[in-house]
Amino acid sequence: MKTMLFSIHLHLEPNPDGVYTVTSPDVPGLVTEGRTPDEILQNVQEALKSLLDAWDELGVEPPAALHPLLEDRPQTIEMLVAV
């Protein structure tokens, strides 16, 4: 399966136990959690895959934010970077 690239906004809500609840205003139904950036990224990827599979099975069109980016063109993304 070919990897698809998407540009979506993520909202990270900190919880008292050090876990972040992750949602996206661009992708209704996306909800996951994670402690570290790597864990959050992995969990978001798994959640998106599950949503795309479910929408495909139901014949539902994914939200516009999940239309793949064109890999042969420059892209602009937002990223939070801690230094």
CA 20 to each of CA 38, 70, 78: distance values in angstroms, whole numbers, following the listed order: 12, 30, 19
- 5: Cβ–Cβ under 8 A, 6 or more apart, which residues? 68, 69, 71, 75
Quick one: pLDDT at residue 23?
A: 96
Instruction: Tell me which residues of the chain have a pLDDT lower than 50.
Output: none
Q: For the domain that residue 37 is a member of, what is the CATH number? A: 3.30.160
Which structural domain range is residue 19 located in? Answer: 1-83
Quick one: pLDDT at residue 65?
A: 84
Q: How many domains does the chain have?
A: 1
Quick one: pLDDT at residue 66?
A: 83
Quick one: pLDDT at residue 46?
A: 95
